[in-house]
Amino acid sequence: DLTERRRAEEALKLRDRAIEASDGSIILVDMREPAQPIEYVNPAFTRVTGYGSDEAIGKNQSILSNQSMPRAFYQSLWKRISHGEPWGGRLVNRRKDGSKYLAELSISPVVNGAGEVLNYLGMHRDITEVQRLEYQVRNQKALIESVVDAAPVVIALLDIDDRVVLDNHAYKMLQADLGMAEPAPMLMTAVRASLELDSGRGRRTSGYLFLDREVRLDPPGGKQPRWFSCSGSRVREDAGTAEAFLA
Ligand code: FAD
């Protein structure tokens, strides 16, 4: 009846408005046409790419191709979506003004009731800035590693289970010298025993968990015992969980 039909029309209109309002760039490709043209783009697509809907509709999505991605990349994309499966990945796109950006793209086939693919839905966002931050983190890590490596003292970073997660060149030399896989956890055990002996004497130094602790290590194979002066501090690491964000 009329109210039912009006309700269904309203629901469709609402869905259209939601797609229009989406902050993610959305395109629909018409697979019923041999040229497989773009059938719809939302305003976010125009904001990201510079192409107005009148310029994009009727064209092929390859207007965004930067012509620099390997052919095999697009081939595997098409192979996947031709099998009716969704595809997701990163690629370099080109805007209308010729500038390039890194896009995170996902493509999903849209099927009718009979299971035929009528459209492909493409959603992408500009992640150039995310990529820049990722590279910055990577560079920072490389920088820290080279500084730690150059230090003329043995440095090892242990996780909460006493596993070595970062070490330096001097540590590797010590491993070879002692003929031990990981001397750091054994040194930590010796340091803990020494701290326990001292507990209550207030020898802890602010900033350090322990400072200039002299401990003995007995290498395997009946080698001479070795003495080390050890200092350690805690490194706080933020967990990358959703709960950590709230905290
Ligand atoms: P093309 O010659 O068009 O494609 C390279 C290779 O891909 C071809 O050799 C062929 O093996 C394969 N291929 C291309 N078209 C088809 C097809 N219809 N059927 C089977 N295999 C095919 N590309 C982007 O660069 N950026 C985007 O943001 C982007 N969004 C897309 C969104 C959707 C919904 C879809 C369906 C595709 C999207 N593409 C996008 C892929 C795009 O269609 C092109 O394949 C790509 O841009 C490469 O274009 P080209 O002119 O360099 O090479």
pLDDT tens digit string along 169-203? 999 999 999 999 999 999 999 999 988 877 655 55
> Is the CB of 191 within 6 Å of ligand 1?
no
What's the mean pLDDT when you consider all of the chain? Answer: 91
Residue nearest to atom 21 of ligand 1 (CA): 78
Distance of CA 157 to the CA centre of its chain: 23
pLDDT band at 205 (very low <50, low <70, confident <90, very high): low
pLDDT value at residue 203: 52
Residue 204, pLDDT above cutoff 60: no
User: Bridge-partner residues for 105, per DSSP?
Assistant: 89, 124
Residue 206, pLDDT above cutoff 80: no
For the ranges 27-41, 65-79, 204-218, the lowest mean pLDDT is seen at 204-218
> Is the CB of 183 within 6 Å of ligand 1?
no
pLDDT value at residue 22: 95
- Nearest atom in ligand 1 to 63's CA: 47
CA atoms within a 13 Å half-sphere pointing along the CA-CB vector of 28: 14
What confidence tens digit (pLDDT) does each residue in 130-160 have? 999 999 999 998 999 899 999 999 999 999 8
- Nearest atom in ligand 1 to 66's CA: 25
pLDDT value at residue 223: 86
CA distances from 25 to 4, 36, 50, 199 (A): 32, 19, 11, 61
Q: Which two tokens stand for residue 58?
A: 């009727």
Residue nearest to atom 3 of ligand 1 (CA): 62
Distance of CA 131 to the CA centre of its chain: 9
Helix or strand run (H / E) with residue 213:
strand 210-217
pLDDT value at residue 221: 84
- Nearest atom in ligand 1 to 28's CA: 34
- Are 214 and 228 a contacting pair, CB within 8 Å? yes
